[in-house]
Amino acid sequence: MKLKYFIIFFITLFSTSSLGDISTLSIHNEFIKAVVNNKDAKGRFSLETTLGNPDNNNDDYKDLIYGKPVPWTSYTTLLIDNNPFIFGNTDKRLQKRTKTNFNYAPLYEQFVSNNSIISSSIIKDFDISQKIGFYRNPNTNISDSIFIEYHVTNTSEETHYFGLRIMLDTKLGKNDGAPFRMGRDQIQSEIQLSKKDLYAYWQAFDSLSNPNIISQGLLTDSSKSLTPPDSIHLANWGSLVDQPWNAAYEQDRSFIRKGEDQKDTALALTFNSKPIKPNQTKIFKTVYGLGGIAISSGELSLGLTAPKSLLQTHDSPILIIAYLLNTGGYDAYNVSASFTLPKDAEIVKGNLNESLPILQKGHQKQFPLLIKFKKRLTSDVSLSFSVKSSTFKSNSIRHLIDIIDPPKLTLTMPKKIIIPPNNPYITISPTIHNHTSIPINTINAFISDVSESALPAFEYPAKMIQELSPYSSTSLSWSIDTSKLQFPFSFYISATSEHAVNASQPIFLYQSSSESSEPLSVHSKSQAEVPYYLTLKLENISPKDTHQFIINHPKKSATFIHYASSNQVNMPLRYKKSAGDVLFQPSILMDDYIYFNYYVTDDSTLNFILSETTMQSKNEATELPNIRSVIQTLDLTVPSKNAIVSANYRKE
């Protein structure tokens, strides 16, 4: 175990991104590090481990995608109306190698933000951004992988055709020729696989009995946020790097590059050219990183990989792959292998039991099994794989899948809104939150019970959020013409996803009254003469998000004590005693009110001034005066006896 190394790593780790070396941009955590070229071939990337798999001491600081010190050997091709462009800036090394002048899509910006590296380009009516960030691997339950994502927007008024190829110069530490493992196949020479031949993920490792490093590529996931490619081309790197699109294919050609004697593997994920309409955005997303395999050593060594956890709401098939390696030193006869599944599982593809007359020494077999659960999962799921033979001792391995509660969507927005008399149009802006550690995909947000006539021509009742990352939030907005409504009016805002607990909130609209009374009034006094306790009541106000209210009192005459609200909601409030200011941000007070309690020691000069001001940033606060708009002055001054006598004398 590498616990002590984890502790050292966290002590020395002061940032998840590296900007010190301007030739590269990088992000890293305790498992992996992604590096992007920021020097010449901008936008190209590499991947390496930091401390890798916590259970594997052999995979620390090893390459997963080649690219030291500055990445250039992996690149992405954009096919625009059948013309290929390499994403990123021109590269002399590629030009020298291929002796070809390729077309490029140079970057106009590249930066690190929120543990992601974002690279953007504009080329041939398309705005394209590449985003690389950490991804929580379902087979290990940790962020030991990266997502590679492209957002492609057609900015023109015409439909264009667009295709994408992501070429990765893969490597397993020092091993550049470990076989790819997809379904039943151990791929050790060139092959092209179409979509129908692909599984949810592929893996690569050198040895099952003692793997140096295990890599894994995810092609699909349970939340359907990944984009399955139309094909994968596995070949030697030279064959793929020399041709940005439609590289020449020779089945079973060696992974050894022409003119060399060492294997150099690479793969290309191709997304076929398809139309993108004007102003339409398409997203392409795949995942690559470390793989997770449980291993049971023996003369018949076993490996088993499957998701470590599933949501209760999971309803799509899951892929289980079992590995069997004969390490016994001689052939095994009458080999039988079998899965044991929970009773609520049914097989979609694959076999529960398989028999082999002979398994030769040093040979390995793979057993993919696609299963689906018949009903909603409520408790942890156990499955196992076992092997028997007439030659060696039996072996088995067990895997436990944790069943976890689905993430929960929440909505925040004032429930009550007062419509101003001079403008019937309002904009409502709810914020949708994901307070959990699980990303939520394909969120539909919509308003209901609002007629189409109350929505402007440009507005739609439903809007979609592609993905809401863990512990993040996003805001949406709708414009509503309230002149089409009858007051008081109510409607609902909802946020729903198949992968989360949904949220819904009622909103109430009220029309402001031009004859409404002053918002600040006296509620009670403890006694007639000073000193006494005074309670003021505030009601009938409609605040804005960027504004705050202030109640000012003579600092020598009274002291603010505390406040209480009828809706029992905590309110941001500050008391500046030296200025006699109570600053606060209330919610809308239509049916609710707030009590402000003071201790009054002198009422000979007792004015309470209610005003409103715009909240300022720190920079604005140093440059701009803080202008207050007075809403009301509540004068509670009680004249002294001398003042009354003097006033009567002047009157006479």
* 507 contact partners, CB below 8 Å, separation of at least 6: 413, 414, 415, 416, 417, 428, 490, 491, 492, 493
The predicted pLDDT at position 1 comes to 43
Question: Is residue 77 packed enough to be buried (19+ CB in 10 Å), middle (13-18) or exposed (0-12)?
Answer: buried
Contact between 541 and 516 (Cβ < 8 Å) = no
What architecture does CATH give domain 74-290?
Distorted Sandwich (2.70)
Q: CA 416 to CA 414: how far, in whole Å?
A: 6
3-state SS, residue 238: helix
The DSSP H or E segment spanning 631 is: strand 628-635
Assigned token pair, 584: 């606060």
The predicted pLDDT at position 618 comes to 53
Assigned token pair, 547: 């504004």
Q: In what order do the strands lie in the sheet with 281-290?
A: 107-113, 116-123, 126-135, 145-154, 281-290, 215-218, 201-204, 180-182, 185-187
Q: CA 264 to CA 176: how far, in whole Å?
A: 5
- Strands (DSSP E) contained in 169-280 are 180-182, 185-187, 191-194, 201-204, 215-218, 231-236, 265-276
Distance of CA 200 to the CA centre of its chain: 21
Looking at domain 295-316+323-404, what is its CATH homologous superfamily? Immunoglobulins (2.60.40.10)
The predicted pLDDT at position 93 comes to 92
Q: CA 339 to CA 274: how far, in whole Å?
A: 41
The predicted pLDDT at position 517 comes to 66
Assigned token pair, 510: 């009220």
- 520-635: CATH topology is Immunoglobulin-like (2.60.40)
The predicted pLDDT at position 647 comes to 36
Q: Which residue has the tokens 């004398």?
A: 649
* 622 contact partners, CB below 8 Å, separation of at least 6: none
Q: How many CA atoms lie within 13 A of 312 on its CB side?
A: 9
What architecture does CATH give domain 409-511?
Sandwich (2.60)
Residues of the chain with pLDDT below 70 are 1-21, 420-422, 512-517, 568-569, 588-591, 616-626, 639-652
What is each CA distance from 537 to 40, 247, 518, 574, in whole angstroms? 66, 77, 10, 18
The predicted pLDDT at position 617 comes to 56
Q: CA 508 to CA 441: how far, in whole Å?
A: 29
* Residue pLDDT, tens place only, 523-556: 888 787 889 889 899 988 877 777 889 999 999 9
The predicted pLDDT at position 16 comes to 44
Domain ranges of the chain: 74-290, 295-316+323-404, 409-511, 520-635
Q: Does the fold of domain 409-511 match that of domain 74-290?
A: no
